[in-house]
Amino acid sequence: MLLEITTTHQPTSDLGYLLHKHPDKFQSFDLSHGQVHVFYPELTEEKVKFCLLLDIDPIELVKGGRNLSGKGFALGHYVNDRIYVASSFMSVGISKTLSSALNGRCKDRPELLGVKMPFEVKISVLPAPIGGAILIQKLFEPLGYKVQLERHILDAKFESWGESKYYTLYLKNELTLQELLTHLYVLIPVLDNDKHYYVGKNEIDKLVARGGDWLQEHPERKQIAERYLFNLKSLSRQALERLIEKDGNETAEAGIVETHEEMVKRKTLHQKRLYKVVEKLLETNAESVLDLGCGEGKLLRLLLKQKQFKKITGMDVSFSELKKAKDKLYYDDMAPKQKERIQLFQGSLLYSDTRLLGYDAAAIVEVIEHLDENRLKSFERVIFEIARPKSVVITTPNGEYNALFPNLKEGAMRHSDHRFEWTRKEFQDWATAIAQKNNYTVSFEPIGEEDEQYGAPSQMGVFSYAS
């Protein structure tokens, strides 16, 4: 909530001119949910300290009940850290009060604009996501900053609760004031997972305008764009494309952080998995297919491309995922012939459902691991006893392979909602038993590159009804 900028540049009065703020005044400006105050706690011949203080109104902030904390805990947005941290509000505060300096304007002393000054910055306090310290360094160090971090613990009374996600950040660098403010304007929100406003398209413009010059060279530019735009994939792609356009020379995506690599790997695996599932479904000669737990419809889109499938049905328990799937399929605008082939509805794999009757095949991709093991009995009956499609393709992670994920602690799972990640034997035992009980035969295949000891990252069982 507090940004302190100190410089020993002399004369110290220059800073006031550049900031366009009188050193002997305490000034306040209105924001949508409160105020921002600017003032100078220190001003001597040798040193000047400028402060920007956010004074957010906690009651106004939560009016209308917009959820700031994400899903899960509704009360979270009433008791939240927004008013005490440097968040995107800080960027709003900067542009609101220091727009001249941010945009490189200085009416009275234009010659100061290009002057590099020794700056020391302190931000109290800065929230950062997991791996925050490394991320903060990766963001600021390439820009020439000396970074010092002080991490805060959660609660002194309960030391076992460990560290918090908050830091006090100290920065040192010699650069122009405009450079400094631009960096802060862009990078503070990058560290903030909880944005206070909706990410709109014009944010890309803001990002490119602010970050234009230095951002193109920043090794973390992809991550900055992604995080800045709140991981809104389509928006960030546009932003990246525009950045690369400016760059004129697309380089290999070097220097991308590890997590990104992992993400790419994960996505590739998922793509492989889906292709394999489509391949299997084609082999069964199925004409009508169920995608159970279709999520946002990645598999559905692949299925639609295959003429063989005349009736494609996607079901998911999450209504919001189905909505996403409809958007991504452009369902509402689909041509009638196309639309005839596909339908989507909400349903649950734990309730018997006559809508699932009469299909040739069902794909259940990365779904069962999201069910509690003691509920699997219901799942088995819904699929194998009641819906009873001629073929069933089930995929699930191979837990053995987790040993090869460096960041995964022993016994941990790949996704927080996974209830189990079976070994190959566990999966095969389970699948063989239900196949036998329900008059199916089953065969197994690995998905993804196979390790000699641990097998492939994912596994698949293909069931056929033995008529």
Nearer to other proteins, 157 or 305 (CB): 157
Taking CB under 8 A as the binding criterion, the range among 141-149, 222-230, 369-377, 404-412 that sits at the site for other proteins is: 369-377
- Strand, coil or helix: 323: helix
69 binds other proteins (CB under 8 A): yes
Q: What are phi and psi of 79, to 5 degrees?
A: -115, 95
- The answer for residues whose C-beta is within 8 angstroms of residue 103's C-beta and 6 or more apart is 178
Radius of gyration of the chain (CA): 28
Nearer to other proteins, 29 or 275 (CB): 29
Q: Binding residue for other proteins (CB under 8 A) from 39, 170, 214, 444?
A: 39
Q: Tokens representing 214?
A: 């230095």
- Strand, coil or helix: 265: helix
Instruction: Note if the bond before 389 is cis, omega within 30 degrees.
Output: no
Taking CB under 8 A as the binding criterion, the range among 79-87, 242-250, 258-266, 458-466 that sits at the site for other proteins is: 79-87
Q: Binding residue for other proteins (CB under 8 A) from 127, 189, 314, 461?
A: 127
What's at 215, amino acid-wise? L
323 binds other proteins (CB under 8 A): no
454 binds other proteins (CB under 8 A): no
353 binds other proteins (CB under 8 A): yes
130 binds other proteins (CB under 8 A): no
Q: Tokens representing 98?
A: 């220091």
Residue 140 to residue 119: CA distance in whole angstroms: 14
2 binds other proteins (CB under 8 A): yes
80 binds other proteins (CB under 8 A): yes
Q: Binding residue for other proteins (CB under 8 A) from 32, 66, 78, 212?
A: 78
Q: What number of chain residues touch other proteins (CB under 8 A)?
A: 71
42 binds other proteins (CB under 8 A): yes
What's at 134, amino acid-wise? I
Minimum gap (Å) between residue 12 Cβ and other proteins:
13
Distance, first Cα to last Cα, the chain: 69
Give Cα separations from 3 to 85, 113, 144, 413 (angstroms): 10, 21, 19, 39
Q: Binding residue for other proteins (CB under 8 A) from 20, 31, 37, 174?
A: 37
122 binds other proteins (CB under 8 A): yes
Nearer to other proteins, 112 or 371 (CB): 371
Taking CB under 8 A as the binding criterion, the range among 107-115, 121-129, 209-217, 247-255 that sits at the site for other proteins is: 121-129
- Strand, coil or helix: 216: helix
Residues within window 12-31 making contact with other proteins, judged by CB under 8 A:
24-26
Minimum gap (Å) between residue 41 Cβ and other proteins:
4
Minimum gap (Å) between residue 127 Cβ and other proteins:
7
The 257-286 contact track toward other proteins, x by CB under 8 A, reads ------------------------------
Minimum gap (Å) between residue 316 Cβ and other proteins:
9
Minimum gap (Å) between residue 279 Cβ and other proteins:
29
Query: Is 259:132 a contact under the CB 8 Å cutoff?
Result: no
Nearer to other proteins, 152 or 265 (CB): 152
Query: Is 352:379 a contact under the CB 8 Å cutoff?
Result: no
Query: Is 203:92 a contact under the CB 8 Å cutoff?
Result: no
Q: What are phi and psi of 239, to 5 degrees?
A: -60, -45
Cα angle 32, 139, 226; round to 5:
65
Q: Binding residue for other proteins (CB under 8 A) from 164, 193, 423, 464?
A: 164
- Strand, coil or helix: 245: helix
Going by the DSSP 8-state scheme, the letter that residue 133 receives in this structure is H
Q: Which residues pair with 361 in a beta bridge?
A: 289, 391
Minimum gap (Å) between residue 382 Cβ and other proteins:
7
- Strand segments, DSSP code E, in 109-162 are 117-127, 146-153
